[in-house]
Amino acid sequence: MKVLLVFPKPTDSACAADIFLPVPSNALATVAALTPRNIDLEIVNEYMRPLRPNLRADLVGISVMTYNAHRAYAIADAFRRRGVPVVLGGVHPTFCTDEALEHCDAVVCGEAEGVWPQVLADAQAGRLQRVYRRDGLTPPDEIPLPRWDVPGGGQNRKIKSLTTARGCPVNCDFCAVSVFHGTRSRGMNLDVLVEHIREVAARDRPRFFFFVDDNLTIDRDRAVKFFDLLVPLRLNWMSFASLDVARDESLLERAARSGCRMLFIGFESLNDENLSLFHKRVNRPDQYSRAIERIHAHGIAIQGSFIFGLDQDRPDVFRRTMEFCETNQIEEPQFNILTPMPGTRLLERLRREGRIVDTNWARYDMHHVVFEPLHMSRAQLQEGHNWAWKYAFSPTVILRRIRRIPSGRRGYNLVANFVQRMAVTRMLRQLRKSGDYPQTGFLL
């Protein structure tokens, strides 16, 4: 049996992340690792190479996020017209199962561990069930290392991504991670992981490892052990963390010593009320500046992410956020529009309040307005978001930001910022193309 695994790329995507951080999702490499070795396997990640329409396969598995669901469904429909059975998995079909079932033979809800081998056996026997769902979450020692050796499944040569734990206890209203992967952090065996990292580092010599956990430092003792094990490998790495990492000098010091060069931090908002309303209580805006200073003091750069359109945001939020980023020298600011993703409490609430105005999933990429904000118009929110990106990545502002970075780190950050500028230009062009938002001029 030949199985084809696909990660779809929508042609109209406005995701800036696709250019400045072109890291293929671990999802397919993980599903590949769960596939018995006697099955012929091929991966097509449309971010890496095009999907040939006549590709031969006996079964197709597609990984689906919300913003690429329309592309996933088009691929699924095309294969099914040729009589090839299709299985959909990932976060979107898990929460929109009935919708997904209109385009496929079976849906895998939740994590694929413990389920995928059964799907393959049923497909081989010609008796696929409609829905597969494992009982409970995968125990950490059953989470496999991703298989990047499968034909077509190549990783970004310079950045190797790896999950070390799943689950997040914070459980913010706008995020489905805690619903999907649970509220307890499930850490994989560190000795096995570090051995794997050692092998990959020796073989491929990547510039960076990207630990794609939701929050690498959520379990402090585990993080300490991990960082200490990484020190001899002399790596450069980046990851996601929450701001409480800055309260712990010794953890920061160990992270830096083990090669941490950048932390992706979700500040989300400068407004306390917003953070309580959306249950992101780990963040305390009055402590942001001090926390940033501490992280910077260890030579760690910050990719800081902000959400616009939260219920307490008013039209001055864009300028205030920009001033904050400049004053605090956030090396790589990122701006998202609040987006009610399937599976979140936010979507339930906005539906109840009658505030969802756009149900086209293609626009659920965090760069389009799909709901009615409380204290500004939709046009103001869209334009404010576009302006923030344009302003933050204008050459003058990049150079101003870079000038303040210590000289040792300036070169890398300069390149990263100008690559991001290209991505932002493309994103804004895409947004203009799809734009039904009049220029209000309120920011000018």
Give the binding site for ligand B12 (CB under 6 A).
15, 17-18, 21, 23, 25-27, 30-31, 61-63, 65-67, 87, 89-92, 108, 111-113, 116, 163, 175-177, 181, 212, 214, 336, 341-342, 365-367
Look at strands 106-109 and 86-89 and give their pairing: parallel
Q: Is 294 or 337 the residue whose CB approaches ligand B12 more closely?
A: 337
Measured CA to CA, the distance from residue 438 to residue 443 in angstroms comes to 13
Name the helix (H) or strand (E) containing 437. none
Minimum CB–partner distance for residue 251 and ligand B12 (Å):
20
Are 288 and 272 within 8 A, CB to CB? Answer: no
332 binds ligand SF4 (CB under 6 A): no
Q: Give which of 43, 32, 42, 41 is closest to 7, Cα–Cα.
A: 43
Minimum CB–partner distance for residue 232 and ligand B12 (Å):
26
213 binds ligand SF4 (CB under 6 A): no
DSSP state of 328: T
170 binds ligand SF4 (CB under 6 A): yes
Q: Is 103 or 294 the residue whose CB approaches ligand B12 more closely?
A: 103
The correct pick among 105, 113, 214, 383 for binding ligand SF4 (CB under 6 A) is 214
177 binds ligand SF4 (CB under 6 A): yes
Cα 417 to chain centroid distance, Å, stands at: 19
346 binds ligand SF4 (CB under 6 A): no
Beta partners for 240? 264
Measured CA to CA, the distance from residue 125 to residue 215 in angstroms comes to 41
Q: Which of residues 233-252 bind ligand SF4 (CB under 6 A)?
A: 242
Cα 138 to chain centroid distance, Å, stands at: 20
User: Residue 28, Cβ neighbours under 10 Å: how many?
Assistant: 27
Measured CA to CA, the distance from residue 227 to residue 222 in angstroms comes to 9
Minimum CB–partner distance for residue 22 and ligand SF4 (Å):
21
89 binds ligand SF4 (CB under 6 A): no
- Residue nearest ligand SF4 by beta-carbon distance: 175
Residue environment code for 318-353, b if the CB has 16+ CB neighbours within 10 A, otherwise e? beebbebbbebbbbbbbbbbbbbbbbbbbbeebeee
Q: Is 33 or 218 the residue whose CB approaches ligand SF4 more closely?
A: 218
Q: Is 15 or 170 the residue whose CB approaches ligand SF4 more closely?
A: 170
Find the farthest-apart pair of alpha carbons in the chain and give their distance in angstroms, rounded. Answer: 64
Partner whose footprint covers residue 266, from ligand B12, ligand SF4, none (CB < 5 to 8 Å by kind): ligand SF4
Measured CA to CA, the distance from residue 190 to residue 223 in angstroms comes to 10
Part in contact with ligand SF4 (CB under 6 A); list of ranges 51-59, 133-141, 171-179, 363-371: 171-179
The correct pick among 34, 87, 143, 175 for binding ligand SF4 (CB under 6 A) is 175
Structure token digits, residue 430? 């895409």
Partner whose footprint covers residue 61, from ligand B12, ligand SF4, none (CB < 5 to 8 Å by kind): ligand B12
Chain residues in the site for ligand SF4 (CB under 6 A):
168, 170-172, 175, 177-178, 214, 242, 266, 280
